[in-house]
Amino acid sequence: MSLVRHKLNPELLENGIAAVKKGRPVALVLSRPRDLIHEVCQKLLLSDQQLRRMMVAMEKSMEKGLDRETASTAAVRMLPSYVCAVPNGTERGGFLALDLGGTNFRVLLIRLKEKEAEMTGKIFRVPENIMRGTGEALFDHIADCMAKFMQEHDLKDAQKLPLGFTFSFPCAQEGLTKGKLINWTKGFNASGVEGADVVTLLREACQRRRDIDIDVVALLNDTVGTLMACAFVENSCQIGVIVGTGTNACYMERFDRISKISDYVDEEGLVPEEMIINTEWGAFGDDGAMDFIRTEWDDVVDRQSINPGKQVFEKMISGMYMGEITRVVLEDLARQKLLFGGNFEAISRPHCFPTKYVSEIENELLEDEDRTFQKTFQILEDIGIETVSSNDCVNVAYVCSLGFRAAHLTAAGIAVLLNRMGKPFVTVGLDGSVYRFHPTYPKLLDEKIEQLVNKGLQYQLMLSEDGSGRGAALVAAVATRLKLEKLVAKLAASH
């Protein structure tokens, strides 16, 4: 692989350099290769001016996705969720939840009472051959998992429970229980599913078994589930964000701004005031809107992915790609003989440097006061790099620290939503492995949002407790509550 060589600033060779990360200065021993590495990596450092330019472009993309005239060609799809209310604390009873959004699939039983949610669940693996086989085989596998879970919990012959189905892929929903897959992401590529109604596929798979009966009352994205799970605890939650294997965000949008479904009315013939919009912001930049801050390393990762040219924003910030971007940078530096004595063979193997290595090295940078870099040495040796120096470890740690670009890009996206909503106080529900496990990500995210959000707007970040599972049950619970409330109101009116 041949990458673009960098024009170097000779002034940096004369100046002392410290790797400084906001709130965490790291003093480094000076050396010429290190100076060159800092210069090469400058393009990963984004200024607030660049982030604000990105915010303007993102909101324009969102508006295209909401507009009836431009929605069909918009990069950011802005999909209506048909969820128009959050939990109010009166939801009660038992609910099932299905959660498909990655290599693991979950079945859950959730019982709600007052402000508590008692949850029992089981994780089932989705084998790679099923992820990339036929749609029928995928949904048969899901139905088989459900049947095993229901058998274990004596639910097969019990009263049919309302079910919320979290399907964490881009879906065009036509109602709360109908949604067609637009395109697979996150490594899935099962045939015959794109363009099909996934609720129908699930029901058909259950019918083929003839031993389980389900009542799907809500289809949702895991990001909507994240919002709902936090709203169950804090009613001011109006934004849900996931930064894990992939990334996405949803938020409560004024209905009069969603012109592409301006003729929508609910079952009672009423027009909602607001609706949760599933942005599918991972595709932001697919139309070139992010080209001004993309690097050649981003281009390499994109070209080598299973969906080149798609999910551009996701490939710059999510866990599926963060480690790979770091690896490509390290390979480039090794090829330029700035790392590992020029030995680039081991680090050139795609996906040999997963995102967990970035987090582990970052964590060591925080905790290892003596700068022994034992963990970093071990990681590089495990990869197969034969000769690793202390300077190599320091430089690798520096490159890993530049992963804060992902936090800043995410912060810019959240600031767009907060500014657009303009509400005086909003809770932002967050979930995903990057947010949960990267040691500095939450702090960096919060600090950058504060710098980018409009004056006078207040917010708080809240870790979601199992939004994709609990949130699915809560959407089902809210749907069931609203249906019951309307039935009671009808009966009262008839008397």
Contact 353, 382 (CB under 8 A): no
Q: Does domain 88-229+466-494 have CATH number 1.10.10.10?
A: no
CA dist 16 → 29, 333, 398 (Å): 9, 20, 15
How is residue 256 annotated by DSSP? G
The answer to whether 451 and 48 have CB atoms below 8 angstroms apart is yes
User: Encoding tokens for residue 133?
Assistant: 């086989």
Residue 277 identity: I
222 as an active site residue: the answer is yes
- pLDDT in tens for each of the 495 residues of the chain? 333 333 333 333 333 333 334 433 344 444 577 889 999 999 999 999 999 999 999 999 999 999 999 999 999 999 999 999 888 888 888 899 999 988 888 999 999 887 788 889 999 999 999 999 999 999 999 999 999 999 999 887 777 888 999 898 888 888 899 999 999 988 899 999 999 999 999 999 998 988 888 888 899 988 999 999 999 889 899 999 999 989 999 999 999 999 999 988 877 777 889 999 999 999 999 999 999 999 999 999 999 998 999 999 999 999 999 999 999 999 999 999 999 999 999 999 999 999 999 999 999 988 877 788 999 999 999 999 988 999 999 999 999 999 899 999 999 999 999 999 999 999 999 999 999 999 999 999 999 999 999 999 999 999 997 777 888 889 988 888 888 887 777 788 777
Query: ∠64-293-31 over CA atoms, to 5°?
Result: 165
Question: Please, which residues have CB within 8 angstroms of residue 495's CB and are 6 or more apart in sequence?
Answer: none
**Which is catalytic among the residues 140, 222, 286, 431?**
222
Q: In the annotation, is 186 catalytic? A: yes
64, 186, 375, 448: the active-site residue? 186
Amino acid code (one letter) for 95: F
- The residues spanned by each domain of the chain are 88-229+466-494
